[in-house]
Amino acid sequence: DVLHKICHPHGQVLRIVIFKKNGVQAMVEFDNLDAATRARENLNGADIYAGCCTLKIDYAKPEKLNVYKNEPDTSWDYTLSTGEILPSAFTFFTTFFPPKKK
């Protein structure tokens, strides 16, 4: 929710994925490049809280983030209703290509 509140004023946030590796890192997907650019220009170097949690923002290579389930503190897809689960590639393959009988 904190990242969404910070990023939302700059454009529509579609998805957020948070990684807890070497501190906390996150990827935020906006609905268009202009919104991402505004967020980067306005938030890079800013602190989330006074004197701490300084943001270092750059563009990511993936154009779309994959969120399979909305889970607080790890990933959220604002285009899904709460708790909705997307079928994963694993589900797709097990559904359409069941194991062969021996």
Q: What is the pLDDT of residues 4-17, one digit of tens each?
A: 999 999 999 999 99
* Domains, the chain, with CATH or none: 2-96 (3.30.70.330)
Under the banding of pLDDT at 50, 70 and 90, the label for residue 99 is very low
pTM: 0.75
Cα end-to-end distance, the chain, whole Å? 50
d(CA 39, CA 28): 10
d(CA 21, CA 27): 13
- What does the pLDDT average to over 9-29? 88
User: For residue 52, what pLDDT is reported?
Assistant: 86
User: For residue 62, what pLDDT is reported?
Assistant: 84
d(CA 27, CA 35): 14
